[in-house]
Amino acid sequence: MSIITSVAELEKLYGEAQETSTAKEVDYITPHYRQFIEASPFVVLATSGPEGLDASPRGDKAGFVRIQDDRTLLLPDRRGNNRVDSLRNIVRDPRVGLLFLVPGSGTTLRVNGRGVLSVDPALLESFAVEEKAPRSVLVLQVESVYFQCARAIMRSELWNPERHVDPKSLPTAGQILAGITAGRVGGEPYDKAWPERAKASMW
């Protein structure tokens, strides 16, 4: 196996980036980048901590990531599995990466910066949905913003309905849990209860 072991080898292999690949990166949210953030209902939150890296999905109605100003983003933490892997990382290492997706668009948006977790009552209440406020809000100070070209989305045909996978062809959450725990948790009861459980705990 041939392995690249230096940045010099890597740069020799790939060559220099074109100006269009570097000029797009800025340290603030431009009006054009604002449009992508406001249209996005889904973002991947990347963090780093002593135990390693974490990438976690975050989703809500389009525009759920609030733009406080052109260098500050606010991301509410909605209900989930309470593992708090990402949040635990942020408390110990403030470096954060966001990858915004917009259904139907091949262009994605990347934001890097440093974050803190706020539990300010007024801020939490401002993000309430169905009278349920998030338990914390990520306050991200933007350090770099740039769009990612559409090749990955185009190659994957992510938004093409004809390429969508039938969920019935995949194992369910209950089946996965039962398989891992030798039936101790999960199984058919878990899957049957999930729709109502999710509905009741969405916010």
Q: What is the pTM of this model?
A: 0.94
- CA–CA separation, 33 and 23 (whole Å): 14
> In the CATH scheme, what is the code of domain 17-156?
2.30.110.10
Residues of the chain with pLDDT under 70: none
Q: Can you tell me the distance from the alpha carbon of 138 to that of 75, in angstroms, rounded to the nearest whole number?
A: 5
Model pLDDT, residue 200:
87
Q: In the chain, which segments carry CATH 2.30.110.10?
A: 17-156
Two tokens at 15?
């060559």
Each residue of 78-120: pLDDT tens digit? 998 889 999 999 999 999 999 999 999 999 999 999 999 999 9
pLDDT of residue 201: 87
User: From residue 116, how far is each of 47, 59, 93, 150, 191 by CA, in Å?
Assistant: 12, 19, 9, 31, 35
